[in-house]
Amino acid sequence: MEKKYAIGLMSGTSADGMDAALVSISGCSINTVVELVDFVSIEYREDFRNELLRLAKGNEGGSRDLSRMNFALGDEMKKACSILLDKSGINKKDIAFVGSHGHTFYHEPNSVNYVGHTVRSTFQLGESAVVSSYLGCPVVSDFRVSDLAHGGQGAPLVPYTEYILYGHKNVNYGLLNIGGIANITLIGKDFDLSDVIAFDTGPGNMVLDNLVSRFSSFSMRYDKNGDWAKKGRVNDKLLSFLLDDPYLKKEPPKTTGREYYGEEYINRLLKMAEGISKEDILRTVTALTAECVNIAINSFFPFKPEEILVGGGGASNSTMMEELNKRTGILSVKNEFSDAKEAIAFAILANERLNNIPNNAPRSTGANEPVVMGKVVL
């Protein structure tokens, strides 16, 4: 099978930067072979990030601002590709294709009435034409809408790629990604794709990062290694309040985002946390992410995984990992791909799209059939 170079791009709900993974890929479907060649994560400028977060609140910004942000994100995508290629020494002419998630500005998978229509919607920005023009290759993006149009939640998307990577390892794996939102996938040793279970467990780093930013007077974006939270203790009363959350009891398929765990949620949390030290609040919110994962496993999985492979920013937070191991009682270790995991996933999803192969996991998203996701810019 011919090997190709491809790039996967990801801007997650934490909005801290653009991830770019250079992979070598061959084959397709269950015969896909993918190797990580190089990876970069380009941090957003503070003013850019603030504007991105403002527009992603869901009730801010008009068509002018969203149009400008679409192309500004396209520039960030192009910049990430350029830095990645310089670092790896690969010529841009050797890139066969790019898969880009873009950045989610609104995700509403449940029906609402809107100007005479019952709609469910999802909205990602990041102009792929900017990257296609720079690299001279196809760019696949806007994956979620096809799944949504076929009755699904439009998320999670990574279970398909996790099945490709881990579905034949003879181990019952839990694959956990702790980004802004945490999501988990169960892949049993005897599973087919139709057996894969995956959903968002609840808040990942999003709430924690927001609190760290506030508590540090905006001098810190996140709790590096969990060092701040490590100084505190879990406040059981606050944790119980946060666990009394309808989302945690909702049956999969389900997905969530900034629309649910955004400013209003954090303001309610802080009101409940009056009189509690910053360190204890941060430790409690760190424990919340881990306990949400524990609830998800015990409530919605038919059996416990033998091992949890953890990716995303949370995998580098030792306090988060300590809480996860303690609360689940399952060995939880950092995924081999870790920070690059989601960017790699979109390179794989793009490869499937270009081979015209369905690339969703209907049991996980709730779609009524397998569909080919992704729009192609040539």
Q: What is the pLDDT of residue 338?
A: 77
Does 325 lie in the same domain as 242? yes
Does 351 lie in the same domain as 288? no
User: Which two three-digit tokens encode residue 346?
Assistant: 């979109």
d(CA 123, CA 42): 23
Amino acid at the residue 271: K
* 94 within domain boundaries: no
DSSP string, 82-128: HHHHHHHT--GGGEEEEEE--EEEEEEEEEEEETTEEEEEEEEE--H
d(CA 366, CA 360): 10
* 291 within domain boundaries: yes
pLDDT per position as a tens digit, 106-150: 999 999 999 999 999 999 999 999 999 999 999 999 999 999 999
Does 362 lie in the same domain as 291? no
Does 148 lie in the same domain as 29? yes
Domain with 197 in it: what CATH number? 3.30.420.40
* 48 within domain boundaries: yes
* 134 within domain boundaries: yes
- 174 strand-pairing partners: 186, 308
Q: What is the pLDDT of residue 336?
A: 80
Does 179 lie in the same domain as 113? no
Does 368 lie in the same domain as 247? no
Give this prediction's pTM: 0.92
Provide the number of structural domains found in the chain. 2
Q: What is the pLDDT of residue 337?
A: 81
* 277 within domain boundaries: yes
In terms of residue numbers, what domain contains 163? 159-339
Does 288 lie in the same domain as 177? yes
d(CA 336, CA 39): 13
What is the maximal distance between C-alpha atoms in the chain?
62
- 19 strand-pairing partners: 10, 41
Does 208 lie in the same domain as 111? no
For residues 141 and 377, is the Cβ–Cβ distance under 8 A? yes
Q: What is the pLDDT of residue 62?
A: 87
* 31 within domain boundaries: yes
- 181 strand-pairing partners: 203
Does 237 lie in the same domain as 281? yes
Q: Among 198, 189, 191, which residue's Cα sits nearest to residue 147?
A: 198
Does 172 lie in the same domain as 109? no
Does 317 lie in the same domain as 275? yes
* 52 within domain boundaries: yes
d(CA 340, CA 323): 23
Regions of the chain where pLDDT drops below 70: none
Alpha helices in 253-317 (DSSP H): 263-272, 278-300
Does 11 lie in the same domain as 149? yes
Alpha helices in the chain (DSSP H): 46-55, 63-88, 128-135, 144-149, 158-166, 206-215, 227-230, 236-243, 246-249, 263-272, 278-300, 318-328, 341-354, 362-365
* 282 within domain boundaries: yes
Q: What is the pLDDT of residue 12?
A: 87
Dihedral of alpha carbons 375, 3, 161, 89, sign: negative
Q: Among 139, 141, 105, 100, which residue's Cα sits nearest to residue 121?
A: 105
